[in-house]
Structure 1
Amino acid sequence: MSTSKPLRQCAALPFRVVNGRTEVLLITSRETRRWIVPKGWVEKDTKPDRMAAREAFEEAGVTGTVVKPPYGSYRYSKRLTSSKAVTCDVTVYLLRVEEELADWPEKDQRERAWMTPGAAALAVGESGLVEMLLRLALPAS
């Protein structure tokens, strides 16, 4: 019996504060159109926080400042084909959005939407990501 090691991804959780309220930016996945955060495979020569920022630019069309250390992590099953899936460990970085671009590399492949962390928690499917969004929804103490 072989157990394969989970594959590693980095994600950005883009956010902004408007009138004292935190909003997060979700995007749709390309194939199933589920609401997700921008993420991509870890690359050997790229630091994870820089990778998360790059994914936010390519997939969501936003740039900004990555908040370190990572905000959290979660595990999910990524469907590769109708009969094959892999387990992925995702490290999530908050990204304070400074610019929202009108044009970006994956603009024609995805939708993006700003929402409250609570609404985003209801929209996403990964339970670990739900927990992070709900943490963002809590008032700072």
Structure 2
Amino acid sequence: MGLGEQLKYGSVPYRWVGNTGFEVLMISSRKDPSRWIFPKGTIEPDEGPQQVVLRETEEEAGVTGSVQERLHYETVGKQQTMFLLQVHSHVENWLEVTNSHQFDAKYPNLISSSAQERERSRRWMSVEEAFLVAKQMRYV
């Protein structure tokens, strides 16, 4: 890791779709909304890797679930550890919640409290499509 660079933890949120398999959830990047990424962030004091995965996934993607297994992969130039996260529920009225004082109270450590900074697009996609997107983003 480079000087001052922090290890990031993230999730690959997924849900089962009937008998056909599953889909994964990707979110738009704040820096470039045309890029699709997985939720991730840095660890806070008194947090373990799985706790940061749950927190970042709810903050950035608006879903909650259970952390499954750790994924083994390398990213180009970044230190990241990703976990599969089986989605159990969506935060109701996600855009309204992220624009409220309730959100600020639950997540006081967010660097920016600007609603525009927090607003992201979410998109469920097939594993095949996510693989192509992730390959373009150098996740695989």
TM-score between both structures, scaled by the size of structure 1:
0.72
CA deviation string 1:74-123 (max 9, x = no partner): 334xxxxxxxxxx4311001110000123153786210000011101122
What corresponds to 2:87 in structure 1? 97
RMSD of Structure 2 on Structure 1 (CA): 2.2
Structure 2, unmatched stretches of 5+, are: 99-114
State the AA in 1 paired with 2:23: E
Residue 68 of structure 2 aligns to a residue whose secondary structure is strand
Task: Please state how far the C-alpha of 1:5 moved relative to its aligned partner.
Answer: 7.2
- CA separation of 1:115 and 1:58: change in aligned 2, threshold 3 A: same
What corresponds to 1:22 in structure 2? 22
How many angstroms apart in 2 are the aligned matches of 1:73 and 1:59?
22
Structure 1, unmatched stretches of 5+, are: 77-86, 131-141
How many angstroms apart in 1 are the aligned matches of 2:73 and 2:41?
14
How many angstroms apart in 2 are the aligned matches of 1:5 and 1:73?
22
In 2, are the aligned partners of 1:13 and 1:93 still within 8 Å (CA)?
yes
What corresponds to 2:132 in structure 1? 122
CA deviation string 1:9-64 (max 9, x = no partner): 00011000111311000000112111000000123421111101111100000001
Q: Please state which structure has a larger fraction of its residues in helix.
A: 2
Q: How does 1:1-141 map to 2 (within 5 A)?
A: 4=3, 6-20=5-19, 21-33=21-33, 34-68=35-69, 70-76=70-76, 87-101=77-91, 102-103=93-94, 104-105=97-98, 109-124=119-134, 125-127=136-138, 129-130=139-140
Runs of 4+ residues over 4 Å off in structure 1: none
State the AA in 1 paired with 2:72: G
Q: Please state which structure has a larger fraction of its residues in strand.
A: 1
In 2, are the aligned partners of 1:73 and 1:89 still within 8 Å (CA)?
no
Q: How much identity, in percent, do the aligned residues show? A: 34
TM-score between both structures, scaled by the size of structure 2:
0.73
How many angstroms apart in 2 are the aligned matches of 1:60 and 1:7?
21
State the AA in 1 paired with 2:3: S
